[in-house]
Amino acid sequence: MALLSVIILNSCSNQGDHGELGGGVYGNGRSAFNTSFVEGMVYIPGGSFLLGQADQDITFSHVAQTKQVTIAPFFMDQTEITNSQYKKFVNWVVDSIAITGYLNDPKYFYESAKGAPTSNGKKFINWDYVSKNPVFAPKKGTTPNPSAQKLQGMFYQGDDKVFDQNELDVRLLKYTYAAMVLREAATYKNNKTKKRSDFIFRDTVPVYPDTLVWLSDFSYAANEPLVEGYFSHPAYRNYPVVGVTWRQAKAFNSWRTRYNNNYAQKKHLARRFPYDLPTEAEFEYAARGGKIGTDYPWGGPYIRNSKGCLLANFKPSRGNYIEDGGAYTVNVKSYFPNDYGLYNMAGNVAEWTSSAYDESSTTFVSDIEPTYHYSAKQSDPEVFKRKVVRGGSWKDVGYFLQNATRSYEFQDTAKSYIGFRCVTRFVGRELGSAE
């Protein structure tokens, strides 16, 4: 099977949504760039806090050493990335592959005379035309879709079909992106033997979530309905996406950055700083919501409120999963947000961070914007592929919901209880400060 890849820099995005995710949780985008507003995100003011403060260490891992650190202001997604929002990324890849690899219809590309000339033989997709003429939808007055025959190669063939249905072969859905590894560039800036290309990290990532995690994560659990419907059924559109690896989350952030930048470029607006996963320090700082010395995002030290109601989606007691209101994940806007307005910074799904995991990283990272980062290649030892996971999930006991609790997972691993949210750097003077 031929492996198809997509490079977003060679195409132009659909501008009808102002380059924002939308997805039904936040509504429509704004028409102008504003440094004090990012749709779907909340402003996290800068400050200093004691990283790693915890009252208990039931695993005796001793990996949450305390350290006074300072965090600059930033924006963070109010909720975990939802199925609907992640599906926007998947659909973009589907359309891109269909247009460039199967249709090759000139109407779907910009012409040179329209301000988007081809470059080295690469074409630019006209996403405005795509939005008005969907690739897989039949055109009005025509039955069936005249492009259907050309697109047959994107569907499962022969014995892979079920009841002769046309189902997309998700193995074809791959996204290729490139990013500068600035830490390595700074380390070797005086090394004359290094080229710029030595500091460019390139990756090709399958984008479709691993829906089989609902079975592979558990021994003999009847989770087949979640395999079949969690990512595809509209009832779960505002539930957190799961089955996504760390590499897929990084690819999503690369796409989201370019998607927004294409809109800004079209409207002659200033570009936003890149989207990324939060560092583990940013995640802990944001989870605390400005509170000092607390165990959980809502304060502490208890997981129930004064009425006895549970304050997060996790594994209460010895496994009464339904007691908190959800047997598995729940809607991303469930429970009360913390004082920064962030939902489910503890529980629901644990979340990927951009930080690599090292048991003693607290001792050697900087005290301003601390993080330990390593861009592991496929050939690197597994120990370098550990990424910090924070927040605890619907299947974790209460200990993992604590602000300071650290855990990790391997970057190529997908789980039914790990999702993610994004951050982007705040531009300019801190909000509310004196001019």
The answer to whether residue 131 sits within a structural domain is: yes
Q: What number is the average pLDDT over the span 130-137? A: 86
Q: What number is the average pLDDT over the span 387-401? A: 95
User: How many C-beta atoms lie closer than 10 Å to residue 104's C-beta?
Assistant: 11
**Rounded mean pLDDT of the chain?**
86
Domains held by the chain: number? 1
71 closest CA partner among 56, 49, 52, 102: 49
Q: What number is the average pLDDT over the span 167-185? A: 93
pLDDT of 144 higher than 80: no
- What range defines the domain where residue 258 resides? 8-425
Looking at residue 156, its pLDDT comes to 93
Looking at residue 6, its pLDDT comes to 40
On the question of a cis peptide bond just before residue 301, with omega within 30 degrees of 0, the verdict is yes
The answer to whether residue 431 sits within a structural domain is: no
Looking at residue 112, its pLDDT comes to 57
pLDDT of 62 higher than 70: no
pLDDT-derived band at 31, boundaries 50, 70, 90: very low
Looking at residue 433, its pLDDT comes to 55
Per-residue pLDDT tens digits for 316-354: 988 899 999 999 999 999 999 999 999 999 999 999 999
Looking at residue 1, its pLDDT comes to 34
User: How many C-beta atoms lie closer than 10 Å to residue 149's C-beta?
Assistant: 10
Q: What number is the average pLDDT over the span 211-230? A: 96
Looking at residue 36, its pLDDT comes to 54
The answer to whether residue 390 sits within a structural domain is: yes
- Residue that wins the pLDDT comparison between 63 and 396: 396
The answer to whether residue 430 sits within a structural domain is: no
Looking at residue 60, its pLDDT comes to 60
Q: How far apart are alpha carbons 52 and 415 in whole angstroms?
A: 25
The answer to whether residue 207 sits within a structural domain is: yes
One DSSP character per residue, 199-254 reads GEEEEEEE-S--TTHHHHTSSS---HHHHHHTTTSGGGTTSBP-S--HHHHHHHHH
pTM (2 d.p.)? 0.89
Per-residue pLDDT tens digits for 253-281: 999 999 999 888 888 888 889 999 999 99
pLDDT-derived band at 143, boundaries 50, 70, 90: low
pLDDT of 285 higher than 50: yes
Looking at residue 23, its pLDDT comes to 55
The answer to whether residue 343 sits within a structural domain is: yes
Looking at residue 58, its pLDDT comes to 60
Looking at residue 121, its pLDDT comes to 66
Q: What number is the average pLDDT over the span 119-142? A: 77
In terms of phi and psi (left: phi > 0; alpha: psi -120 to 50; beta: otherwise), the region of 76 is: beta
- Residue that wins the pLDDT comparison between 59 and 228: 228
Per-residue pLDDT tens digits for 180-218: 999 899 999 999 999 999 999 999 999 999 999 999 999
pLDDT of 118 higher than 50: yes
Q: How far apart are alpha carbons 174 and 2 in whole angstroms?
A: 11
Looking at residue 33, its pLDDT comes to 40
Q: How far apart are alpha carbons 362 and 281 in whole angstroms?
A: 10
Looking at residue 395, its pLDDT comes to 96
Looking at residue 61, its pLDDT comes to 62
Looking at residue 37, its pLDDT comes to 74
The answer to whether residue 159 sits within a structural domain is: yes
**CATH number, position 330:** 3.90.1580.10
The answer to whether residue 373 sits within a structural domain is: yes
